[in-house]
Amino acid sequence: MKTFSKRWARAAALATVLATPALAAKPYPERPVTLVVGYAAGGATDIVARLVAKSLSEELGQTFVVENKTGANSNIGAEIVSRAAPDGYTLYVGSIANTINRTLYSQLNYDFVKGFEPVGLLATIPNILVVNPKLPVKTVQEYIAYAKKNPGKLTCASSGSGSSIHLSCELFKMQTGTDILHVPYRGSGPAVADLLGGQVDSMFDNLPSSLPHVQAGKLRAIGVTSPQRLDAVPDTPTLAESGLPGFDVESWFGLVAPAGTPKPVIDRLNQALNKALASPALQASYKQSGFYAPQPPNSPESFGKKIASEIDKWGAVVKNANLKAN
């Protein structure tokens, strides 16, 4: 009887030991996840982050919280996340700006390629050239004429030096031979606020942050940077139509995690993201806000290749325009 009791005790102990790893391996995520945005609230990066955070919360059954860590054209937020624990609980909402910054800044305290693991693309958007209604221009050609008549006086706001908004303005200046004063801000939100207030004249803004003001008549849209006109503003011509052939700038946003984040976590996030992007609710929110969902398959590998190609593309533009942030 004692022998049986001892055997039973050993068997029970062994069963407990064998079961412990399974109990310890709790499914990700088991606590709230933070999405860090490198810009102020109200801009396109912040808007898409909050839309996706809501959908990911629903898909994964855990809260996804957006935190704004502003400064240095999103570099501060990127640096913070690059140093975070690689456990999937602190993620970064990257953008085209991070690939531009790779060349624009001579010194960065993070590496957008080596310091992160790609998760997936969130959205793409065109930029839209908007002006304060008090500015006496209604077309791109009138804008060019005004800039040439007032060299160095016409102001063009951006969400920060090196953003796609800034580079759109620089590309425009190069193609038109105009002298327009660039005014950088800590995100689209504060830049648009000053544009509405008349402190600055114009902006090549990401569509989502300016669209509500265009629809309300508080800003005047005179051109879009995409190759085709947009459904959201069908009466606004492309810059190519307006006399600048080949002008094409598309902004994008994507989710990345600190380097070393386990592949199962990356894969789970990617699967949840793509499921969210296919949902009617998020698609409706995207359409209303002016975002375009990425085409499948939206894998971590394909997003990684896009990051590499964007670094090469914008590196050439930054060098050609002789731009430097530090």
51 Rama class: left (phi>0) / alpha (psi -120 to 50) / beta: alpha
How does residue 14 score in pLDDT terms, banded at 50, 70 and 90?
very low
State mean pLDDT over 78-107. 95
Tell whether the model's pLDDT for residue 20 goes beyond 50.
no
pLDDT tens-place string over residues 25-42: 578 999 999 999 999 898
Tell whether the model's pLDDT for residue 92 goes beyond 80.
yes
Tell whether the model's pLDDT for residue 56 goes beyond 80.
yes
Spatial separation of the C-alpha atoms in residues 280 and 95, rounded to whole Å: 24
Helix, strand or coil, per DSSP, at residue 191: helix
Tell whether the model's pLDDT for residue 11 goes beyond 70.
no
Nearest residue to 54 (alpha-carbon basis) of 64, 39, 68: 64
Place of tokens 């970064």: 92
Structure confidence at residue 13 (pLDDT): 46
pLDDT tens-place string over residues 313-324: 889 888 877 888
Spatial separation of the C-alpha atoms in residues 259 and 318, rounded to whole Å: 27
pLDDT tens-place string over residues 104-126: 998 999 999 999 999 999 999 88
Spatial separation of the C-alpha atoms in residues 311 and 1, rounded to whole Å: 74
Place of tokens 């960065």: 108
Tell whether the model's pLDDT for residue 21 goes beyond 80.
no
Contact 97, 165 (CB under 8 A): no
Contact 122, 294 (CB under 8 A): yes
pLDDT tens-place string over residues 146-203: 999 999 999 999 988 888 899 899 889 989 999 999 999 988 889 999 999 999 999 9
Structure confidence at residue 16 (pLDDT): 45
Structure confidence at residue 234 (pLDDT): 94
Tell whether the model's pLDDT for residue 292 goes beyond 50.
yes
pLDDT tens-place string over residues 136-158: 999 999 999 999 999 999 999 99
Structure confidence at residue 17 (pLDDT): 42
Spatial separation of the C-alpha atoms in residues 147 and 39, rounded to whole Å: 29
State mean pLDDT over 240-262. 94
Report the length, in residues, of the chain: 326
Q: What is the pTM of this model?
A: 0.78
Alpha-carbon distances, residue 287 vs 16, 67, 272, 292 (angstroms): 52, 24, 20, 7
Tell whether the model's pLDDT for residue 212 goes beyond 50.
yes
**What residue type is assigned to position 31 of the chain?**
R
Structure confidence at residue 2 (pLDDT): 47
Nearest residue to 293 (alpha-carbon basis) of 256, 255, 257, 252: 252
Contact 59, 272 (CB under 8 A): yes
For residue 172 the two structure tokens come to 């425009």
For residue 241 the two structure tokens come to 């139509």
Spatial separation of the C-alpha atoms in residues 90 and 34, rounded to whole Å: 5
Q: Please tell me which residue, 13 or 257, carries the higher pLDDT value.
A: 257
Spatial separation of the C-alpha atoms in residues 190 and 50, rounded to whole Å: 18
Structure confidence at residue 32 (pLDDT): 98
